[in-house]
Structure 1
Amino acid sequence: MNNYRKPCGQKVHGHPCFGDSESHRGFGRIHLPVAPGCNIKCKYCVRRHDCANESRPGVTSRIIKPQEAVNRVREILSKEPRISVAAVAGPGDALANPATFETLRLVNQEF
């Protein structure tokens, strides 16, 4: 079935952050919103900040810089050592943003 036609609850069901699986209990993760740009610019796509109807990865209050992402990981790890996954999130296409690769390089270098 085409994922775009599923209700939001079904779209996020299998995601480790939102699904009913046990995987979200075994490890921690942090989403780093560093990717504002998109290389496609679909006319139907609405990439909003703080949309009340969105509760999924890629929706954020603000975009952070790569060094801010490293600082955030450091801060969160000091409070929650179970974090083992750092995910780069949008609202844009992460692979179309140089900040994604800079963030991954810096996080990998320090952690």
Structure 2
Amino acid sequence: MLNYKIKIKAFDGYILNLSVIKIMNYISKQNIKVNGPITLPTKKKIYTILRSPHVHKKSREQFKLYIHKIFLVVYNVKSNCLNKIDLPSVVKLKITKC
């Protein structure tokens, strides 16, 4: 039995919340103790590009990309138990041992 830290990332906050609900339902069916979900600060990346490559250097366009994160700590889990969770491909799941 091991303890794991789970960090979940997604660009869309709604899909991230649905994935966390799915994970929490799976964990509750397995009778596993969990701390969380803990929301981590949202990262904002801003990309600025030129609209016109030749003459109008002051004409620029900005794009924003938000990365939402949630953190869970799971106790006394079998090693292969967490890999069976089916999540959307947009959600990135990082599992580390405590």
- Tell me the TM-score normalised to structure 2 length: 0.25
- Tell me the TM-score normalised to structure 1 length: 0.24
Structure with max Cα Rg:
2
Higher helix share: 1
Higher strand share: 2
Higher RCO structure, 1 or 2 (CA under 8 Å, sep 6+): 2
